[in-house]
Amino acid sequence: MTKEVALNVLGEPLVPCSFDPLTGFFRDGCCKTDDNDLGRHLVCAIVSKPFLQFSLERGNDLITPRPEFQFPGLVSGDQWCLCISRWAEALAADCAPQIKLESTHINALKTVPLETLKQYALAE
């Protein structure tokens, strides 16, 4: 039996988001998901200071290191798999970080249209 390949929002195989810091619900560098991922960590974001502050103000501290969870703490410029709901919330608050389309899971399209995601795509 072959394992199903995770796809990105472009319909292509999902590209890793970050190995340093190591991200993803499975801590494998990819924004892969399954039914255990209740937060739906689907968006490969390049976090910014405004976004990190926004997230902190909403009770999700992504800045402080948490070694017990293998979490190094993030700084502006880090790439990280964000929950799609948090990214959409940041979008509504006008502080959504840029994203890597090739590393953002196709299931993100269930919440945010591709055209919107493209507006926040990191220029390569």
pLDDT tens digit sequence for 87-112: 999 999 999 999 999 999 999 999 99
Annotated domain spans of the chain: 1-124
Tokens (6 digits) for 20:
């340093």
Does the pTM surpass 0.85? The reply is yes
Q: What is the mean pLDDT of residues 26-47?
A: 94
Answer CATH for 1-124 from 3.30.56.110, 3.30.390.50, 3.20.20.450, 3.40.50.300: 3.30.56.110
DSSP state, 3?
A: P
